[in-house]
Amino acid sequence: MSDTIDIMTELEEFQDRVYWLVEQVPEGQVATYGQIATYAGSARAARAVGNLMRTSWTKHGEIPWWRIINAAGKISLKGDLHRPTLQKELLEAEGVQFSAAGRCKLEEIRWSPDSDFWIIE
């Protein structure tokens, strides 16, 4: 019984962690779905992270959802038709540049948890 409760708790925490992590990504930097999934505790839940961004980005106005892109350094084009355009505009407004192929230099602007990440409880 406590097992079931623990599992449910973990799932809820995963979701909350994802939102929290996304909030940590600073302006001008980006993070990948897989990255967020990893730091949230489930390295292979990248797809699930994408789902969370898809289903509730409008409900979390404080979350910089546009700073989350795919591992190829590109903006995911699936789903909503207008969101990709808006996402690109928002990122470019922060100084993120995209190649003609729609790819940004992930190696240079990828966010990584620094000291304060571990200090915050």
Partner DNA sequence: TTAGTGACTGCAT
Partner DNA sequence: CATGCAGCCACTA
31 φ/ψ angles, rounded to the nearest 5 degrees: -140, 155
Out of 21, 24, 30, 57, the residue judged to bind DNA by CB under 7 A: 57
Rule CB under 7 A: say whether 44 interacts with DNA. Answer: yes
Out of 55, 95, 108, 114, the residue judged to bind DNA by CB under 7 A: 55
Ordered alpha helix ranges (H), the chain: 2-24, 33-39, 46-56, 83-93, 106-109, 115-119
Q: How far is the CB of 47 from DNA (least distance, A)?
A: 4
Rule CB under 7 A: say whether 47 interacts with DNA. Answer: yes
CB atoms near residue 94 (< 10 Å): 15
4 to 43: interface string for DNA, x by CB under 7 A: -------xx-xx----------------xxxx------x-
Residue 28 CA to residue 91 CA, distance in Å, equals 7
Rule CB under 7 A: say whether 83 interacts with DNA. Answer: yes
